[in-house]
């Protein structure tokens, strides 16, 4: 570490001199050169390396900033090394944070400081001209909300991409992931030699279920286009969609599969609960074994239609041991208190109790 000395003189009736010592890092920079040009769209380069000439006890830290005086910096600890590499995608995110727009070129600044004395001045601050990534992924727009419709599972969501300069015979696949780098296990849909395709609500629901930690909370999914035969992505940067899932629950019990609608109940006190919005109508326990006939019954089929049986659900005897076994994993039978709280919440809504009633069959009288 070196020290810069500044002398400041002022004059009124008398002369005064001030000696100010500013500690300065003695680390000199090696590469990239001053005003070097970096195009993040260069597909042959996966990462960019910053290097310097000294290492010191306690390690060094690479500093990046959008300001020539290193305001609001981003730090990367390099330890005892004399270089640090940053992936192109991450460097694009950093430059975005510095206010450079997609596909535009802007100047960022870099320096290296001792990790244990990060607040001292840098001996050298170099400008670097960086061109941000140009996404070839056109639709949906990045971070666009996509609400999946359980009543229209075949409804397609349109995806489109730029194929300019590519062989017209090139076949493509739409690839989904739970991370921006598209690493780990991905979901792939082959779509052929086209520049747009539709992925159904049902297919996106399957992708959501694969990656989500909660079946009914929205999450961000990432997507990119892959050249199927070359096995390489069309765009260096992936795009994302904010997926609001279908409010449904597929209850699979052995060879029985029933899909129920789900309701998100937001209480006035801030609590949130998820309830099946249809009456349970399973004939099996979650392990696929049959519920004992003595423990349930259904409306007689000769008096009720299939739609009515679906609305009314099953009638289960109040057998405590059976009720413990009946719910699928993650679900439970509500308590009497919870049912009362639900009714009280419904009473406070427009329409009162009617919001809980089947709109067709609530007052139905069989003939």
pLDDT digits (tens, 9 = 90+) for 89-110: 899 989 999 999 988 999 999 9
Higher pLDDT, 227 or 3: 227
5 falls in which pLDDT band (50, 70, 90)?
A: very low
pTM comes to 0.67
Q: Please enumerate in sequence order all residues whose Cβ is within 8 A of that of 147, keeping only pairs 6 or more positions apart, or say none.
A: 244
Map out the domains of the chain with their CATH numbers.
29-131 (2.60.40), 137-246 (2.60.40), 253-356 (no CATH)
Q: Do residues 148 and 55 lie in contact, with contact meaning Cβ atoms separated by under 8 Å? A: no
Residue 133 has what pLDDT? Answer: 87
Mean pLDDT of 12-36: 78
3-class SS of residue 149: coil
Q: Name the one residue in this structure whose structure tokens are 């009515």.
A: 308
Q: Please enumerate in sequence order all residues whose Cβ is within 8 A of that of 348, keeping only pairs 6 or more positions apart, or say none.
A: 268
CA distance 100 to 96: 5
Q: Residue 53 pLDDT > 80, yes or no?
A: yes
Cβ density class 68-84: b for 16+ within 10 Å, e for less: eebeebbebebeeeeeb
Cβ neighbours around 164 below 10 Å, total = 6
Q: Phi/psi zone of residue 79: left (φ > 0), alpha (ψ -120 to 50 degrees), beta?
A: left
Q: What residue spans of 54-130 are helical by DSSP H?
A: 88-97
Q: Residue 325 pLDDT > 50, yes or no?
A: yes
Q: What are phi and psi of 20, to 5 degrees?
A: -115, 125
Q: Residue 64 pLDDT > 50, yes or no?
A: yes
Q: Please enumerate in sequence order all residues whose Cβ is within 8 A of that of 1, keeping only pairs 6 or more positions apart, or say none.
A: 23, 24, 25, 26, 114, 117, 120
Average pLDDT, the chain: 89
Give 67-88 pLDDT, tens digit per residue.
999 999 999 999 999 999 999 9
CA distance 352 to 198: 40
Cβ neighbours around 249 below 10 Å, total = 20
173 falls in which pLDDT band (50, 70, 90)?
A: very high
CA distance 34 to 129: 9
Residue 76 has what pLDDT? Answer: 97
Q: Do residues 200 and 156 lie in contact, with contact meaning Cβ atoms separated by under 8 Å? A: yes
Cβ density class 317-338: b for 16+ within 10 Å, e for less: eeeeebeeebbeeeeeeeeeee
């Amino acid at each position: 570490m070196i020290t810069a000395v500044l002398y400041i003189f002022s004059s009124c009736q008398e002369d005064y001199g001030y000696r100010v010592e500013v500690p300065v890092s003695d680390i000199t920079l090696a590469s990239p050169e001053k005003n070097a040009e970096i195009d993040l769209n260069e597909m042959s380069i996966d990462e960019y390396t910053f290097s310097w000439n000294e290492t010191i006890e306690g390690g060094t830290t690479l500093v990046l900033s959008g300001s020539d005086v290193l305001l609001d910096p981003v730090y990367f600890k390099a330890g005892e090394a004399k270089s640090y590499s940053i992936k192109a995608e991450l460097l694009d995110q950093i430059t975005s944070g510095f206010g450079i727009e997609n596909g535009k070129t802007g100047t960022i600044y870099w320096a290296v400081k001792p990790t244990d004395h990060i607040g001292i001045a840098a001996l050298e601050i170099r400008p670097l001209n960086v061109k941000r990534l140009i996404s070839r992924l056109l639709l949906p727009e990045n971070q666009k909300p996509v609400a999946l419709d359980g009543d229209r599972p075949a409804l397609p969501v349109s995806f489109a991409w730029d194929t300019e300069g590519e062989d017209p015979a090139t076949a493509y696949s739409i690839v989904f992931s739970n991370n921006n780098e598209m690493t780990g296990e991905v979901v792939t849909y082959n779509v052929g030699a086209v520049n747009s395709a539709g992925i159904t609500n049902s297919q996106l629901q399957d992708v959501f279920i694969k990656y989500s930690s909660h079946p009914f909370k929205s999450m961000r999914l990432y997507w990119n286009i892959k050249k199927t035969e070359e096995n390489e992505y069309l765009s260096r940067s992936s795009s994302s969609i904010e997926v609001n899932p279908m409010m449904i629950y597929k209850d699979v019990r052995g060879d029985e599969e029933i899909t129920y609608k789900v309701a998100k109940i937001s209480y006035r006190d801030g609590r949130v609960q998820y309830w099946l919005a249809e009456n349970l109508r399973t004939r099996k326990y979650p392990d696929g074994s049959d519920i004992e006939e003595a423990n349930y019954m259904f409306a007689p089929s000769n008096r009720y239609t299939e739609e009515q049986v679906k609305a009314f659900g099953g009638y289960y005897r109040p057998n405590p041991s059976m009720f413990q076994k009946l719910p699928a994993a993650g679900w439970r039978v509500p308590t009497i208190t919870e049912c009362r709280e639900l009714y009280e919440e419904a009473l406070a809504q427009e329409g009162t109790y009617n919001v809980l009633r089947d709109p067709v069959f609530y007052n139905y009288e069989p003939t």
